[in-house]
């Protein structure tokens, strides 16, 4: 029987918000958890669920972003983030927007990759971009170690912006933002979804059955939770509860990135694209999906595990 193929690190990602090389000096522990997602696909939600499962309480001593640091991000020095992780004594759960082919794969680490319908991710990304303070770019550039370029400015025409965004999926053009490329990012994990230490999680499944998916995550992480704790943990992981505590739960809350941390948790809805995207946009979307990803992945991205 041939051995199952393993992921290989063969790319380096330098983007305006992150650098994958910041992982180079990371010292893994056997029970580490890496939460790996494209932007606006449920990253913070999954971090919150992991925090609830690990700490088994609904209030934390530190902001979530300190409990679960984002290694790649350029809001501070890599040394500061890695030192912060070294000092943690609890089971570590770490955020990344680096695709799997930019990470050093470790069989002892648990990876949770989160996906979402690309059309929903785009609309969430729009709100995300509009909520970012212009001064944040100066902070990101300050901590870059390589050549730094600002992001492409958003387009006033939302449909035109979507066409540019989805049309560039899996692009090899210089400056392509892989951390927002849902198709490329999720596919980097999807290829290895049969590995026992990789879990594919979907935003719509979390919305459809939050308790069930939390229990599925707990089983994957081999975390036991007493029956009487589950109701409070599930309520704590709801969108409304997280939005009400945005000053503690939004990412990088101490770095002056957001105009309004509460706006980071905008609506958390799915399907809003139906009233915004027209035939031209959806036709291009279908073309890109058929050309860039296999049918099973396309179905999963649109429907999740429960809806497929």
- What is the H or E stretch that residue 160 is in? helix 158-167
Distance between CA atoms of 198 and 216, rounded to whole angstroms?
A: 13
Tokens at residue 34, please? 């890496």
SS3 labels along 98-140: CCHHHCCCCCCCEEEEEECCHHHHHHHHHHHHHHECCCHHHHH
Tokens at residue 111, please? 């990876």
What is the total residue count of the chain? Answer: 308
Distance between CA atoms of 113 and 100, rounded to whole angstroms?
A: 9
HSE toward the beta carbon, residue 265, CA cutoff 13 A? 20
Instruction: Spell out a b/e string for 127-155, using b for 16 or more CB atoms within 10 Å of the CB, else e.
Output: ebeebbeeebbebbeebbeeebeeeeeee
Tokens at residue 284, please? 């291009």
The alpha carbon dihedral of 257, 259, 265, 270 has a sign of negative
Q: CA–CA distance from 291 to each of 66, 239, 287, 298 (Å)? A: 39, 34, 6, 10
Q: Which residues are catalytic?
A: 97
Q: How far apart are the first and last CA of the chain?
A: 31
Q: How many CB atoms lie within 10 A of CB 22?
A: 22
Residues facing 202 on adjacent strands = 115
């Amino acid at each position: 029987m041939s051995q199952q193929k393993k992921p290989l690190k063969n790319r380096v990602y330098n983007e305006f918000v992150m650098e994958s090389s910041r992982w180079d000096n990371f010292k893994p522990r056997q029970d580490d958890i890496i939460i790996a997602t494209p932007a606006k696909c449920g990253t913070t939600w999954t971090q919150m669920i992991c925090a609830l499962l690990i700490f088994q309480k609904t209030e934390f001593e530190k902001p979530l972003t300190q409990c679960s640091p984002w290694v790649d991000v350029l809001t501070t020095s890599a040394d500061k983030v890695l030192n912060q992780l070294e000092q943690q004594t609890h089971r570590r759960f770490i955020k990344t927007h680096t695709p799997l082919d930019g990470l050093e794969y470790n069989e002892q680490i648990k990876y949770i990759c989160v996906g979402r319908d690309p059309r929903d991710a785009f609309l969430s990304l729009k709100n995300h971009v509009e909520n970012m303070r212009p001064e944040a770019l100066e902070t990101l550039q300050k901590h870059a170690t390589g050549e730094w370029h600002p992001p492409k400015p958003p387009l006033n025409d939302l449909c035109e912006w979507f066409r540019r965004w989805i049309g560039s999926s899996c692009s090899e053009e210089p400056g392509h933002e892989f951390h927002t490329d849902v198709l490329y990012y999720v596919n980097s994990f999807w290829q290895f979804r049969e590995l026992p230490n990789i879990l594919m999680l979907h935003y719509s499944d979390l919305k459809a059955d939050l308790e069930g998916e939390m229990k599925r995550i707990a089983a994957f992480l081999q975390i036991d939770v007493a029956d009487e704790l589950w109701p409070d943990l599930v309520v704590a992981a709801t969108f409304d509860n997280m939005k009400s505590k945005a000053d503690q739960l939004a990412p990088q809350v101490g770095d002056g990135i957001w105009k309004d941390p509460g706006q980071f948790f905008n609506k958390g809805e799915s399907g809003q694209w139906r009233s915004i995207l027209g035939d031209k946009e959806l036709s291009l979307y279908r073309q890109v999906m058929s050309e860039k990803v296999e049918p099973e992945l396309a179905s999963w991205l649109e429907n999740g595990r429960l809806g497929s």
